[in-house]
Amino acid sequence: MKDKVGIVIVSHSIDVARGTADMVRQMVGDTVPLAYCGGNPEGGLGTDVAKILKAIDEAWSDKGVAILVDLGGAETNSEMAVELLDAGRQGKVVICNAPIVEGAVMAATEASGGGSLEDVRRTAEELSPQ
């Protein structure tokens, strides 16, 4: 499984993140490394850089990790988490500009077929309005 691009789902809501991960698993099974996180450290709505870093570690693959986010704060905190990774990992993590649910399913589908990190990002981002 670690020979496939990993997927990380970051939402302001742990329920949204968990539900999205459930949907991905129902579509592609356990064929890709997958992790999710959501909520602030107190358990309310928000995101947390430490949780994102943990999710990146859980979904880590030498082929890279694609992150899907729900709102701007999730993207900002995901960018901060990527900046905290060692230099060797930073270049293997991308944040996709895609709808979180549809993007995660499409990214995971591409990853399950052995797509590269760039293929996974491109597939997820095809869903974004131009």
Integer CA distances (angstroms), 82 to 85, 95, 114, in order: 5, 9, 23
Beta carbons of 124 and 32 less than 8 angstroms apart: no
DSSP 37: E
Q: How far apart are CA 107 and CA 68, in angstroms?
A: 9
Residue 99's SS3 state is coil
| Residue 10 known to be catalytic | no
Question: Which of 5, 8, 12, 74 is the catalytic position?
Answer: 12
Which residues are known to be catalytic?
A: 12
